[in-house]
C-alpha cells in the first residue's frame, strides 16, 4: 500500500513537471504517465516513444533524461558552416605541393582555410517572450524572433525546411541574438 502511495505521488509530481517542460519544448508532444512508463506521442514525427519510469530517480533527473533523449533524437537542429583559418603542418604542405604540383603560397592558401560545421539544437522556447534558446555543445544562446511570432517561425521550420542548413537560414533571417547564458561554474572560473 505504501508503494502505491509513493508511486501515485511520484506520478502526480512527474505530470506537473512534464507539463512545465512541455511548454518550453521546441517540439509538440502529448504524454501519458502510467505506473510503469511515460508514453510520448510525438505528433509531428507520427511516432510514439515509451520510456520506463525508474522510481529510484527523482522526477527532475528523470525529466532531464527525457529531455536528453528528445534533444538527441527529435529536437530541431540548425547547421551552418564557417570558414576557419588554421596553420597547416609542414608535412601537409609538402604533400599537397607534391600531389598538386602547387607552389608553397597556393598550398598554404588552400590548406589554411577549412570549413567548420557548426550544429545548433533548438533546446527551449518561450512563447511569452518570443525567445528561442539554442545549444552549441555546452554553450547556450538566447535569440528573439524579430519579424514574426515564435509559433509562426516554428511552423516555418516544420513545413519549409528539408535540411538543417535551410533551417539555419530561416532561423538566422528571422531572429536576433540577445545574449549567451553563462552558467555558474563559468562565471566563477572567469573571476
What are the pLDDT digits (tens) for 91-121? 988 998 999 999 998 888 888 888 899 999 9
Percent of the chain residues past pLDDT 70, beyond the cut:
93
Per-residue pLDDT for 87 more than 80? yes
Distance of CA 134 to the CA centre of its chain: 6
Neighbour count for residue 176 (Cβ, 10 Å): 10
The cell for 186 is 563559468
pLDDT digits (tens, 9 = 90+) for 19-74: 999 999 999 999 999 999 999 999 888 999 999 999 999 999 999 999 999 999 99
Instruction: State the distance between the two ends of the chain, measured CA to CA, in whole angstroms.
Output: 53
Q: Greater confidence, 61 or 5?
A: 61
Residues 25, 125: contact at Cβ < 8 Å? Answer: yes
Structure confidence at residue 187 (pLDDT): 47
Q: Which helix (H) or strand (E) holds 174?
A: helix 164-174
What are the boundaries of each domain within the chain? Answer: 2-73, 81-115, 120-189
* Highest mean pLDDT: which range of 63-67, 171-175, 185-189: 63-67
Residues 131, 178: contact at Cβ < 8 Å? Answer: yes
The cell for 159 is 513545413
Amino acid at each position: 500500500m505504501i508503494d502505491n502511495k509513493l508511486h501515485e505521488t511520484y506520478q502526480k509530481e512527474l505530470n506537473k513537471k512534464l507539463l512545465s517542460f512541455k511548454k518550453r519544448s521546441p517540439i509538440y508532444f502529448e504524454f501519458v504517465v502510467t505506473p510503469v512508463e511515460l508514453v510520448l506521442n510525438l505528433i509531428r514525427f507520427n511516432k510514439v516513444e515509451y520510456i520506463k519510469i525508474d522510481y529510484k530517480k527523482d522526477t527532475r533527473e528523470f525529466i532531464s533524461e527525457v529531455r536528453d533523449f528528445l534533444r538527441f533524437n527529435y529536437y530541431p537542429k540548425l547547421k551552418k558552416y564557417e570558414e576557419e583559418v588554421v596553420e597547416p603542418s609542414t608535412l601537409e604542405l609538402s604533400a599537397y605541393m607534391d600531389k598538386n604540383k602547387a607552389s608553397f603560397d597556393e598550398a598554404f592558401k588552400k590548406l589554411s582555410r577549412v570549413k567548420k560545421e557548426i550544429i545548433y539544437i533548438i533546446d527551449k522556447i518561450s512563447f511569452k517572450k518570443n525567445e528561442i534558446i539554442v545549444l552549441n555543445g555546452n554553450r547556450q544562446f538566447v535569440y528573439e524572433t524579430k519579424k514574426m511570432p515564435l509559433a509562426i517561425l516554428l511552423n516555418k521550420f516544420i513545413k519549409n525546411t528539408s535540411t538543417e542548413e535551410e533551417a539555419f537560414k530561416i532561423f538566422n533571417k528571422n531572429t536576433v541574438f540577445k545574449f549567451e547564458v553563462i552558467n555558474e561554474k563559468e562565471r566563477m572560473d572567469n573571476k
